[in-house]
Structure 1
Amino acid sequence: MWTEEHRDWKGQNFASLKQGDAFPVDFMWGVATASHQIEGGNSNNWSQFEPNSKSQQLSGEACNHWEHRSEDVDRITNLGVSHYRFSIEWSRLVPSPGEWDEEAARWYSDLVDELLAKGVQPMVTLHHFTNPIWWEERGGFERQENLHHWVDFCKRMFALLSDRVEWWCTINEPAVYTTMGYVLGEFPPGARSFKRARTVALNMMRAHAQCYRALKAMNNGARCNIGLVKNINLFDPYRRWNPVHWAQASLLDRMFNRCWIKGVKTGRFKPPSGMRSHFIEGLKGSSDFIGVNYYTHLLATPFMPTKVEIDPLIRPWETRTDFRYPMYAVGLRRAFEMVKDLDLPIIVTENGVADDDDDMRPEHIRRHLQITAEAIADGLDVRGFYHWSLMDNFEWAEGYDQRFGLYHVDFDTQQRTLKDSGKEYQAIVKAHRTPQVVIMAGGLGTRLGKMTKKVPKSLIEVGGKPILTHILNWAQRQGCHNALVLTGHLGEAFEGFTHPGMSVNFHKEPSPLGTGGALWNARNLLEERFILLWGDDLHPIEYKPLLKRHAESDAPFTMTVTQRHDSMNLHHENGYLQTYNKDK
């Protein structure tokens, strides 16, 4: 038995979310999408099924992201997030057996490069509900002999992108795919068969295990993080005193949640409604992290609705979302507790709400981030949070009727507009993100003699890496993803310099004007707050307490000083600068 906790949110203090001290500096702040829901122009099992879906709405151009990729990357960057989760459309890459679309592959590769150039880390999902039509016609996940086709596709994409992409999701929500497509009939192929559902569930777990082991054996496999994404849908008894309701809730919990989690932990999987478990080779321990998609809880009775359009039961004090299920933020903590025994890092790979007029979403964001922050404070290893979704999109069987985006999309004009909820998420994210680092790298480096005749001092190698790389590595570990390097002497030598996972821009001053002159010349590239560093010094100090001290002091700038040195050219008292003589 378990506790169905509820909270009175009216008196909740969310101040820490805006103060920037609720999450660690390396927390993964993200947004998420799926290919079929935003790209437009796809031809797959879903586009084939849509005329017979509940809404009968066609995905069509969707958000036309395929043509608006760069602008959408700018919108991601505008939110301040450090990570972006997207899926790769298998049907685009392999439109027919044996065919490979190089242009489509290049599109995804370019997307990765654009994200990295903006300091955004990509997270790739290899299966998010859609299959090529030719594969679906061969039986899809109903036939075990079909699995190698998908694994081959995964291997090819991993070979293409794994030199730049660290985070990989194998399969998104296998329980949802199975339940909606083969029990409730809301997803392709629209079946209502527990027998077929058991087969599909078993083969999806086989596919996940095969994919994980295959990718781990490839180049870059050891350094990449590969995991399964599991939707956690909580089930609670409608009447807590009723043993029949408890039995129903427990049964649904085992079928939708526990059997999948147990399979990853033990290597034996008992598919929903199955009578026995099956050993799956390579399944045990087949995740480097567990992705948690969480939206709500459902109240269980033997007569609970089995069609999405029928309103589920809710508690009297709960608020319905546009999707008709309740907003239940405390359940996210219960979802964390459910998966923590896997002893894996936890990433919230999806959390959001259907809210057409955006009056609920800001509070939804605050509540779920508050629950996440509390879980981290209590010792749970939660590494990141991806809001679903970046923008309004095609919501599967619901068509365009449900809006989950931080950006509103006018599907007639493809105009995107940041919502108030997007501004709220943006503010919380930016409060926790380390500001831009500005690195002075224009000096002559005369003290290094001949070493800097042809190489600028910031590119002199120390321990096999340029000094600049060491500086950026430290800044990145402090949560910084945006650097501006001010060059001068031999500035052309920095051309082509990059740093994975960071946006690094360069500005060259035409003549040396000192620190103030270099900053003034680059003033249009400076953020409102920035950390000024020198390109020939590595200062491994913690940025978070420095930023906190700066904010609390309300000073125009804050300087870090050393307390131990043979000679001093700076005098300070009570935390304030008194005198400074650069010539000493």
Structure 2
Amino acid sequence: MDAYSVMVSDAMGVEEHRDWNDVDYSRLLNGNAFPPGFMWGVATASHQIEGGNSNNWTRFEPTTKSGQKSGDACNHWNRKEQDLDLIQNLNVTHYRFSLEWSRIEPEMGVWDEDAIDWYSDLVDRLLERGIQPMVTLHHFTNPLWWEDMGAFENEANIIHWIRFSSKMFEVLSDRVEWWCTINEPAVYASMGYVLGEFPPGMRSFKKTRIVSLNLMRAHARCYRTLKSMKNGNSCQIGLVKNINIFDPYRRWNPLHRLQANILDGMFNRCWIQGLKTGRFKPPSALRSFTVDGLKRSSDFIGLNYYTHLLATPFMPTKVEIDPLIRPWEERTDFRYPMYAEGLKRAFEMVASLGLPIIVTENGVADDDDDMRPEHVRRHLQITSEAIANGHDIRGFYHWSLMDNFEWAEGYEQCFGLYHVNFETQERTLRESGALYASIAQAHRMPQVVILAGGLGTRLGEMTQHMPKSLVDVAGRPILSHILDWIQHQGCNRALILTGHHGDQFDGFTHPGVQLSFVREPEQLGTGGALWNARDSLEDEFILLWGDDYHPIDYASLIQHHRQESSILTMTVTTDHDEMNLQFDDDRLVQYSKSGDAPKGFNGYEAGTSVVKKSVLLNHGKEGPWSWENTIYPELSKEIRVHLDSTKFWDMGTPERLEKLETFFNETRS
């Protein structure tokens, strides 16, 4: 097929179809397609994977077209540890999951503390692996007692969901930064109250309007409530909106164009406009309503995208009837076409909100995995291009981690990066899963290596019986403050090189960062410590000193390093009392750690570098030696300089330690 595009309408944009055979995907695999710190994730939903639920869907399942019951699903409730290993093996940095309200509050006002503890433990175990959780508070399922009250059909019922959301936010918000209020409100309303494919299986436009309005009220109230709670201001809370692109089947037919425009307005535009203005016009309603607190009620917008639908005035009203496709389009197992080009238009649509965008779901039903690898490549390519064109896209979550119970479709549609045998519960990584893992690995933030083995003699008695990196600063070890910053910068793996009193690091952990330790057998110096740990080093790493606090923008440093194809990039400041190096045209000319700086020295090493492991392997050696006094002079002309004036803090003396403590206390206040 030749690449071409057709203009549909100003409202809906251009229906573009590319010749994907001409697309170069190499940037996806070489780590240059996405910015440092980009969120790489996978997503699931509680009812689809946990098994053993008792909710509105459990009761509704026998009436679906498949008639299949969720039953044990993926038995995730009893296979938590194994499934966390699957997530970690994909090299992702984030995992989106939902909380099953019916487990947590099986009867009105009755809380199941074991269920709450299960989710709390899930969060802890994710963080131990360096994986950040994203929690969804409502993903299609309701407790039976709430469903029988009318759920979102009655505005008075919203308070019960707000109470549940507040309860779980109170439990988890000290460890969970990312929160989704409601998943796909338009899907919940249309599938449950127009098509009748979801509970409660109704076909009523009047009910659809009421439920849609109450969903937006619930989202706004939830957002305002959680923001007012402890940790609310530090958490990112948003709505997840599914965007279906509607195109006229015959672009020259005004009736087809009209139908596409109507569907786009009902399914997409009215919801986005509501978030933007605070006035919401429910689908098919004649007027709009002011929803208290709705305007600016999201810190980000979650975008779920799967396909486009071709509209005619005679579209089927049953999901199982094959949707129309273009002759050249590939039909997925779910019968709709693979249409990555629509993701570009989805970005343009939600970008009007002026919010950061996160792709919270994107995937394909493809049991044989024939189509999914190309599906992954195409949609990531579109996302990369959108970022390059100025869209503020922060992350991408593939749907789904593994095959699961796909709502009304039962077990017939397989979206997983892992295949699941539901008889044996065996999980098998698909080719698409290996591809996604390799792309995520190529783009994730580097491993952080922290030199924490020195004696710290200048701190006197303070470090005689403890490592300097564990010295208390403002109530916590300096190492904890350093790890806070690297986590804030999107790094989730740290290697701590210990020596002096290294046994005191036993049991040391930090939420959100996966820690490993290598202890030197004797004092080896900075270079010797790195050589001793060479088998634990990744191909590229960020090098820090364990007694320095340097809160710089890692993404800027790494981007500079990678754009220049540098083997070593050091951070340098020109705002310092002393100078220990000379640089010219972003390259190191000479370095000296001695007190008297030679003439022409114009910079000071600030203590944060990005290093290729090959530097150590090619220039390192056994025994004690200094990294800075050996590598910097040897490779001076090859070392890149990254200028950054951010103040860095060195706690090498009691006086400097006092200044650092003052800084942390003032920052905290």
1:41 aligns to what SS in structure 2?
coil
Residue in 2 that maps onto 1:163: 174
The 5 A counterparts of 1:13-92 are: 13-92=24-103
| Counterparts of 2:116 and 2:521, CA distance in 1 | 41
**Residue identity opposite 1:543 in structure 2:** I
CA contact (8 A) 1:182 1:190 kept: yes
The secondary structure found in structure 2 opposite 1:307 is coil
Specify whether residues 380 and 465 from structure 1 end up closer, same or farther in structure 2 by C-alpha distance, changes over 3 A only. farther
Aligned to 2:496, the other structure's residue is in SS state: strand
Give the 3-state SS of the residue equivalent to 1:306 in structure 2: coil
C-alpha separation in 2, matches of 1:223 and 1:567: 40
Query: Following TM superposition, by how much is the alpha carbon of 1:472 offset from its aligned partner in structure 2, in angstroms?
Result: 3.3
Q: Distance in 2 between matches of 1:522 and 1:576?
A: 24
8 Å CA contact retained: 2:561, 2:569: no
Please tell me whether the aligned partners of residues 181 and 219 of structure 2 are also in contact (alpha carbons under 8 angstroms).
yes
Pair 1:379–1:519, CA change in 2 (3 A):
same
TM-score normalised to the size of structure 2? 0.82
Q: CA deviation at 1:507?
A: 3.9
Instruction: Work out the CA distance in 2 between the residues paired with 1:295 and 1:574.
Output: 50
1:489 match: 500
* Inter-partner Cα distance in structure 1 for 2:317 and 2:420: 31
Partner of residue 246, structure 2: 235
Q: Indicate yes or no: 2:578 matched with 1:563.
A: no
Give structure 2 stretches of 5+ with no counterpart: 1-8, 572-579, 583-590, 595-628, 640-669
Give the TM-score taking structure 1 as reference length.
Answer: 0.93
| Matched residue type, 1:563 | L
Q: Superposition pairs for residues 258-337 of structure 1, below 5 Å?
A: 258-337=269-348
Shift of 1:10: 0.8
Query: Which residue of structure 2 aligns with residue 196 of structure 1?
Result: 207
Question: Contact 1:25/1:478 (CA < 8 Å) preserved in 2?
Answer: no
1:363 is aligned to 2:374 = yes
- Whole-angstrom distance in 2 between the partners of 1:294 and 1:350: 6
- C-alpha separation in 2, matches of 1:16 and 1:461: 44
State the Cα distance separating 1:504 from its structure 2 match.
Answer: 2.0
The answer to whether the aligner puts 1:572 opposite 2:634 as a matched pair is yes
Structure 1 runs not aligned, ≥5 long: 578-584
Give the number of the structure whose alpha-carbon radius of gyration is greater.
2
**2:561 is the counterpart of 1:546:** yes
Could you report, residue by residue, the CA deviation over 1:449-472 in whole angstroms, capped at 9, with x for unpaired residues? Answer: 223124421233567764434543
Q: CA deviation at 1:575?
A: 3.6
Deviation of 1:396 (Å) = 0.3
Shift of 1:390: 0.4
Contact 2:35 2:559 in 1 (8 A): no
| Aligned equivalent of 2:647 | none
Between the aligned partners of 2:369 and 2:275, the Cα distance in structure 1 is: 37
CA distance in 1, matches of 2:289, 2:569: 62
The answer as to whether partners of 1:478 and 1:544 remain within 8 angstroms in 2 is: no
Aligned residues: 572
> 1:546 offset after TM fit, Å?
3.3
- Shift in Å at residue 547 of structure 1? 5.1
3-state secondary structure, aligned to 1:448: helix
2:33–2:384: 8 Å Cα contact kept in structure 1? Answer: yes
The superposition leaves residues 15-63 of structure 1 with CA deviations (integer Å, 9 ceiling, x where unpaired) of 1101101111111111000000000000000010001111000100000
Trace 1:115-514 onto structure 2 (pairs within 5 A): 115-460=126-471, 466-473=477-484, 475-476=486-487, 479-495=490-506, 497-509=508-520, 511-514=522-525
Deviations 1:63-94 (A, max 9, x none): 00001111111111111111100000000001
RMSD: 2.2
Shift of 1:518: 4.9
Query: What amino acid sits opposite 1:218 in the alignment?
Result: M
Secondary structure, aligned partner of 1:222:
helix
8 Å Cα contact 1:169-1:226 kept in structure 2: yes
Please name the residue that 1:582 is paired with: none
Q: How far did residue 544 of structure 1 move? A: 3.9
Give yes or no for contact 2:581–2:592 (8 Å, CA) kept in 1: no
SS at 2:420 equivalent: strand
The CA deviation string for residues 308-345 of structure 1, in whole angstroms up to 9 with x for no partner, is 11111111111111101011111111001111111110
Give the aligned residue type for 2:294: L
**Measured at CA, do residues 450 and 396 of structure 1 come closer, stay the same or move farther in structure 2, by a change above 3 Å?**
same
Q: Distance in 2 between matches of 1:467 and 1:46?
A: 49
CA 531–283 in structure 1, closer or farther in 2 if over 3 Å, else same: closer
Identity %: 68
Report which stretch shifted further, 344-353 or 490-499: 490-499
Q: Give the match for residue 580 of structure 1.
A: none
How far the C-alpha of 1:190 sits from its partner, in A, is: 0.9
Q: Compute the displacement of 1:519 (Å).
A: 5.4
| Aligned equivalents of 1:270, 1:532: Cα separation in 2 | 53
The separation in 1 between residues aligned to 2:559 and 2:471, in whole angstroms, is: 28
